[in-house]
Amino acid sequence: MENDNISKVDENVKSDVAAEKPEHELKQEEIPEIQASVISDVDEKLPLSKSIPLGFQHTVIAVLAAIPVPLIIGSNVGLSPEQSRYFVSAIIFTAGISSILAAVGVIPRTSPKIPMIMGANFAVITVVSSALSNAPTISQGFQVVAGSTMVAGLFCFLISGFWAKLQRFFPPIVVGTNLMVLGTALLPNTFHWMMADNAYNPGAAMEPRVLGLAFGVFLFHVIISKYLKGILGNLTLLIALLVGTIAAGFMGMVDFSSVSSAPWFGLILPFHYGVPRVELQTTLAFLIVMILGMVEVSGTSMGIHDIANKEMTHKQFGRTLKTLGINTFASGLFNGVQPTAFVQNVGVLDLSKVTSRFTTAIAGGMLLLIGLVPKFSALISAIPKPVLGGLGFAIFGIIIGSAVNLLKQVDFNGNQNMLIIGIAVGIGMLPEVYPSFYANFPEMVQMILGSGILSGALAAILLNMFFNFKDIIKPEKVDN
């Protein structure tokens, strides 16, 4: 039923009212009024003088959160400067679409109308890289990626109403372990960035000049992260990225030729690489990533609802997943990738205490505009890899930190939850250490188990079902 709550509205609202009046004077109808006044903050339209700067802050953080995905994929498969530029633009553009649809009810009865910034999901890196690498050409690879992404989006949309009943299979031990696997599986990209042109060559030695740049960026970011507070404290990655790129320019390690040749304006149109194609094995891998994405967005959206003091009913929960499905389908349409809810922007909501959904809608509009500027995307693609390597520990470390924070909710007494984490992370690291470990297995096995993110996540889900089966089948308590 619509009135069944997945997460209860903050009980502090009631206690605050009770503190102001004796219990015998407290009228029941006053509580909904006060709850409504809190919930209305989400629907508040702030003056442009305040909403535009806040929207810009969300935009900058969203761009920083999104760009590693196309840069890593581009490096893995060897995209040309033009292909890389378009890929970055498409991902930023679709992040704008996703953020707007999450905040504003453009499509009736599908939007949760919450301040949720969405963009490229790190979990897709391995499956997208595999699909592009296995295709005869990059264009054909992007056709397969588009088709698989659109099917995954349709799947998410259709199952959204039923998803709440499956949440018991994805408790904090599973979600936290999946984040841990994701962060540890992506961390080697930091070393690949540092090695620049010698990436993936185990016999290559690090050049002192390159190491000096990467370490300098790393040290600079650590120092400013300690001393910068407020808005600047949320922009430390951007500041370090700019300073590192400038330093690399003085060292002759930046090539801006692709930036100068890039146009100022370029449309992002559907089917840029041709009509989408669907391949069974690839689509299956994308569907698994979609399920993991649904788990991640479910948890993040609950946090957003909690910060915004907005009730998370079954209806609201379903609309959140419908939005994810629509956004994933749209991302495939424009040759982007499956989106997720950016945890970094949730931190901005918590720090700024401004939860107006129209602020994030403005951020979505800014992302749309940035996506239409190829010169900006070319500038992003031109960032020297050692600079990104210096920031990689922070970029992927945040994911691991989020996992640790989530796992604090887990009870480790009298159970095997520690074993679940250890085995899942170990299985997830296997293909990262030995990329050809599953090379002699069937292609579908390679597609799934050859991805540390997928294999580790599946291990966490199956191990939790094995060790905690009684908790999973335990009937849910129904509030009267």
Amino acid 336 reads G
Q: What pLDDT was estimated at residue 38?
A: 38
Q: Is the distance from CB of 317 to CB of 6 less than 8 angstroms? A: yes
Q: Is the distance from CB of 67 to CB of 88 less than 8 angstroms? A: yes
pTM over 0.75: no
Q: What pLDDT was estimated at residue 424?
A: 92
Convert 302-330 into a string of H (helix), E (strand) and C (coil): HHHHHHCCCCEEHHHHHHHHHHHHHHHHH
Cα–Cα distance, 68 to 121 (Å, whole number): 10
Is residue 393 packed enough to be buried (19+ CB in 10 Å), middle (13-18) or exposed (0-12)? middle
Measured in whole angstroms, the distance separating CA 430 from the mean position of its chain's CA atoms is 23
Amino acid 441 reads F
Residues 6 or more apart in contact with residue 196 via CB below 8 angstroms: 210, 384, 385, 386, 389
Residues composing the chain: 480
Tell me the two tokens of residue 293.
């994405």
Cα–Cα distance, 168 to 33 (Å, whole number): 33
Is residue 230 packed enough to be buried (19+ CB in 10 Å), middle (13-18) or exposed (0-12)? exposed
Cα–Cα distance, 474 to 7 (Å, whole number): 18
Q: What pLDDT was estimated at residue 370?
A: 87
For the stretch 14-47, pLDDT in tens is: 444 344 444 334 343 433 333 333 333 887 888 8
Q: Could you list the pLDDT tens digit for every one of the 480 residues in the chain?
A: 444 444 443 444 344 434 444 433 434 343 333 333 333 388 788 888 778 888 887 887 788 778 888 888 988 888 888 888 889 899 999 999 999 998 898 888 888 888 888 888 888 888 898 899 889 999 999 999 999 999 999 999 999 888 877 777 878 888 888 888 888 887 887 887 787 766 666 677 778 888 888 888 889 988 988 888 776 776 777 788 888 888 888 888 877 777 777 788 888 889 989 999 998 888 988 998 898 888 888 877 877 887 778 877 788 888 999 999 999 999 999 999 999 888 767 766 766 677 788 888 998 999 999 889 888 877 777 778 888 888 888 877 877 887 888 888 888 988 899 999 999 999 988 887 887 888 888 877 877 788 787 888 889 889 999 998 877 777 655 444
Strands 118-120, 339-341: parallel, antiparallel or unpaired by DSSP?
Answer: antiparallel
Cα–Cα distance, 428 to 325 (Å, whole number): 26
Q: How many CB atoms lie within 10 A of CB 188?
A: 17
In degrees to the nearest 10, what's the CA dihedral of 379, 380, 381, 382?
50
Question: Radius of gyration over alpha carbons of the chain, in Å?
Answer: 23
Cα–Cα distance, 62 to 56 (Å, whole number): 10
For the stretch 357-369, pLDDT in tens is: 888 899 899 999 9
Q: Which of 115, 80, 179 is nearest to 358 (CA)?
A: 115
Q: Is the distance from CB of 338 to CB of 292 less than 8 angstroms? A: no
Q: What pLDDT was estimated at residue 457?
A: 84
Amino acid 322 reads K
Cα–Cα distance, 210 to 46 (Å, whole number): 46
